[in-house]
Amino acid sequence: MNLELSEEQSAVRRLAKDFVDREIVPHATDWDRAESVDRSVVGKLGELGFLGLTIDEEYGGSGGDHLAYCLVTEELGRADSSVRGIVSVSLGLVAKTIAAWGDEEQKRRWLPGLTSGARLGCFGLTEPGTGSDAGNLSTRAVRDGGDWLLSGTKMFITNGTWADLALVFARTGGAPGHKGVSAFLVPADSPGFGRRTLHGKLGLRGQATAELVLEDVRVPGSAMLGPEGKGFSVAMSALAKGRMSVAAGCVGIAQAALDAAVGYAKEREQFGKPIARHQLVQELLADIDVDVDAARLLTWRVADLVDRGEPFAVASSKAKLFASEAAVRAANNALQVFGGYGYIDEYPVGKLLRDARVMTLYEGTSQIQKLVIGRELTGVSAF
C-alpha cells in the first residue's frame, strides 16, 4: 500500500479541512448545547460532494475512492462527530447500500436526493429488544396483495427524525433468526410511520437520534432492497463499510484531542514553566499521538482493501475496534492535560470524550468486533 496521497485525495482532504474549520468547528459547542446541529450544514455538505463520495456520477454522486471518503470522514470527525454521523449514516449506510444492492429504479429514485443533501437517510436495524443480536429482530413485514405492511419499533436511529428515507429491516418469513429478514426502502412520510426524538444523550447531542414506530406502514413490492430473505446480508454489508467510516471519524476525534492538548500544554504554565515541559504531560501527548497514527493506518488499510476489491470486513472490525477505543483513550488523556478546565464545555475536550464514548457501542460493540475477529482466527463462531 502506498501511503502517499494522490493529488485528488490531497485536494479533497484540503477542501474538507477548510470547510470544517470555517463552517463546523466554530459552531460545534453551540450545536452541542442546543442539542441540534444547524440542518443547513447538510445542504452545504451535499454541494461540496461529500454526501456523494464513492457513488457513481450518473446517480448524482461525486465519485472518488474510499480513502478519499475516509479523509473527509476524519475531518468531519475532527470537527463534530454529530455531523460526521449524519454523513456516515445517510451516505455510508443508506446511499452506498442502495448503490450496492438497489435495482435501476431504486437508484434513480433515491440516490440523487441523498447525494445532494436534499434528502437524508436513516438505517433502522436496532430494536428495543435486539441490539447486538440484530438477526433476531421482530419488526414484521406482511404481504398484502402486491404490497407489504410493516409493523414494529426501531431504537436509537441516527437521523431518525430528520430522515426522508428509512432503510428498514423486517422479518418477512417464518425462517428463524437472520434468514427470515428482508430490507425495505420506506419513505418517512408514509402513513403509520411515527418517530420520537431521544433526548439526554451523553454525546452526539447535535444528532437527531430517534425511536421509530411503524404501524402497518404500506410499501409496494418494489420497495424491497435486495432479494427477499437476504436483508441480514444487506445489513451486514452496510455495516462492514460503516465500521470503516466510524473508525475514520474516531481518527478525527483523536486528532482533535491531540491538537487541543498540544496547544494547551504549550500555553498553560505550572511550577514556573509550560506544562508541556513536564515529562508526564509529554507522556500523555505521546500516547495520544501514537493512538492517532495507529488508528489512521488501520483505517486506511481498510479503504485500500475496499478500493482494490479485496475482502475487508475483518480488517474493518479491527480498525473500528482499535480506533473507537483509541478515541476514548485519546480524549480522556487530552482532558487530563487540560486539568479542571477540561471538565467544562468552554474547552473542546469534554465534548470529544462524550462523543467518543458511543463509538465503542454502535455499529457493533467492541465485544462484537472481537467475536468477528475471533471467528476469523479460529473458524468457530461464538455468536
What residue ranges bind ligand FAD (CB under 6 A)?
Answer: 89, 123-126, 131-132, 156-158, 201, 204, 209, 358, 361-363, 365, 367-368, 371
Q: Are 348 and 28 in contact (CB under 8 A)?
A: yes
Quote the least distance from Cβ 134 to ligand FAD, whole Å: 7
Which helix (H) or strand (E) segment holds residue 87: the answer is helix 81-87
Between 115 and 158, CB nearer to ligand FAD: 158
Q: Are 242 and 93 in contact (CB under 8 A)?
A: yes
Between 275 and 372, CB nearer to ligand FAD: 372
Bridge-based pairing of strands 165-171 and 121-124 is parallel
Q: What is the chain's length?
A: 383
3-state secondary structure of 211: strand
Quote the least distance from Cβ 195 to ligand FAD, whole Å: 12
Ranked by CB distance to ligand FAD, the top (closest) residue is: 131
Q: Which residues pair with 269 in a beta bridge?
A: 274
Between 29 and 130, CB nearer to ligand FAD: 130
Between 15 and 361, CB nearer to ligand FAD: 361
3-state DSSP helix/strand/coil % of the chain, to nearest 5:
60, 15, 25
Quote the least distance from Cβ 108 to ligand FAD, whole Å: 25
Between 250 and 337, CB nearer to ligand FAD: 250
Quote the least distance from Cβ 375 to ligand FAD, whole Å: 11
Which amino acid is located at 32 in the chain? Answer: D
Quote the least distance from Cβ 354 to ligand FAD, whole Å: 11
Classify 290 in phi/psi space as left (phi over 0), alpha (psi -120 to 50) or beta.
Answer: alpha
Q: How many CA atoms lie within 13 A of 25 on its CB side?
A: 17
Report the helix count and the strand count for the chain, using DSSP H and E. 12, 10
Quote the least distance from Cβ 361 to ligand FAD, whole Å: 5
- Taking the C-alpha atoms of residue 228 and residue 304, their distance in angstroms, rounded to an integer, is 31
Catalytic residues: 363
Between 89 and 256, CB nearer to ligand FAD: 89
What's the N-to-C CA distance of the chain in angstroms? 33
Between 83 and 281, CB nearer to ligand FAD: 83
**Distances 231 to 170, 218, 343 between C-alpha atoms, Å:** 8, 18, 43
> Between vectors from CA 362 to CA 165 and to CA 172, what angle results, nearest 5°?
50
C-alpha cell at 150: 410493516
Quote the least distance from Cβ 78 to ligand FAD, whole Å: 19
Query: In the 8-state DSSP scheme, what is residue 53?
Result: B
